[in-house]
């Protein structure tokens, strides 16, 4: 009798909390993920999404080492394509959004100078995401090289391991930083004004940041992962991405 009661309680608990899907998420999408989860839950109220945030490169390394993630939303296509090639993904990677690069200062700056602003003596430290693991960092270096100022400012650069850490440095520890434009749509950053505190980096200066999603091999029997994957590619999700500063092809 006691065993039956325990079993009933366990089944009740599982039905109460529903199923869980593990999402490996590039840090730049962390600002939009709550809106995405909220909209997804309207369609699938019993699915719990556990979000693991990090740089795309580090998340890829974790997946290769057996991390039990079901879906991977990367900041570029390189990493999900590598996982697919290695047989660690079930679906062929698809682009879900295109990211934009911006640079931000908590103090008012003369952004009419463009990236030349970084050469000013008042700018002593510049936050940039690690280009080896973070696609937004790679895009930043491309922009700096294409404006021929990288060599002039490279001694000022302070590296963050992800877009989120780079944003943290930008707000608290440096004079200016290169960030995902999507972060500027978070409630904490809405006080900063375009042209006074931030500006968008000319998209012609860097390779388009095509962000990819893939279902991982761990989710072979996970229908919730497939449902989330399809939702991210839906019109409802696309509207959310646009609201957070992304571009949709």
Among residues 56, 81, 64, the alpha carbon closest in space to that of 133 is found at 56
Residue range 102-158, pLDDT digits in tens: 999 999 999 999 999 999 999 999 999 999 989 999 999 999 999 999 999 999 999
As a whole number, mean pLDDT of residues 204-211 equals: 96
Residue 19, pLDDT > 50, answer yes
Q: Pairing relation of β-strands 47-54 and 19-26? A: parallel
Mean predicted confidence (pLDDT) in 176-189? 93
Closest CA to 130 of 54, 229, 195: 54
Nearest C-alpha neighbor of 168 from the set 150, 189, 185: 189
Tokens of 197: 């505190």
pLDDT at residue 172 above 50?
yes
List the beta bridge partners of residue 103.
178, 199
Q: pLDDT grade, residue 8 (50/70/90)?
A: very low
Backbone angles phi, psi at 110, to 5 degrees: -90, 85
Q: What is the pLDDT of residue 25?
A: 97
The mean predicted confidence, pLDDT, of the chain is 91
Residue 231, pLDDT above cutoff 50? yes
- Are 168 and 119 a contacting pair, CB within 8 Å? no
Question: How many other β-carbons are positioned within 10 Å of the β-carbon of residue 3?
Answer: 7
pLDDT of 187: 86
Q: What is the band of 83 on the pLDDT scale with cuts at 50, 70, 90?
A: very high
Q: What local confidence, expressed as pLDDT, does residue 4 receive? A: 42
């Amino acid at each position: 009798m006691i065993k039956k009661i325990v079993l009933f309680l366990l089944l009740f608990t599982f039905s109460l909390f529903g199923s869980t899907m593990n999402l490996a998420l590039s840090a730049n999408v962390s600002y939009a993920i709550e809106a995405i989860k909220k909209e997804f839950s309207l369609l699938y109220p019993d699915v719990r999404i556990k979000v693991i945030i990090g740089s795309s490169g580090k998340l890829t390394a974790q997946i290769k080492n057996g991390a039990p993630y079901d879906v991977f939303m990367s900041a570029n296509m390189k990493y999900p394509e590598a996982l697919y090639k290695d047989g660690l993904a079930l679906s062929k990677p698809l682009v879900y959004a295109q990211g934009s690069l911006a640079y931000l200062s908590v103090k008012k700056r003369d952004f009419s100078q463009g990236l030349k602003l970084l050469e000013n003596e008042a700018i002593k430290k510049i936050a940039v995401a690690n280009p080896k693991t973070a696609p937004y960092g790679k895009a930043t270096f491309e922009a700096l090289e294409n404006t021929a100022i990288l060599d002039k400012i490279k001694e000022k650069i302070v590296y963050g391991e992800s877009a989120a850490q780079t944003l943290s440095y930008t707000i608290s520890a440096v004079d200016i930083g290169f960030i995902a434009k999507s972060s500027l749509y978070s409630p904490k950053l809405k006080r900063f004004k375009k042209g006074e505190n931030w500006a968008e980096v000319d998209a012609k200066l860097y390779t388009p940041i095509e962000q990819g999603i893939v279902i991982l091999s761990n989710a072979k029997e996970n229908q919730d992962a497939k449902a989330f994957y399809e939702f991210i590619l839906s019109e409802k999700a696309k509207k959310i991405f646009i609201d957070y500063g992304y571009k949709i092809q």
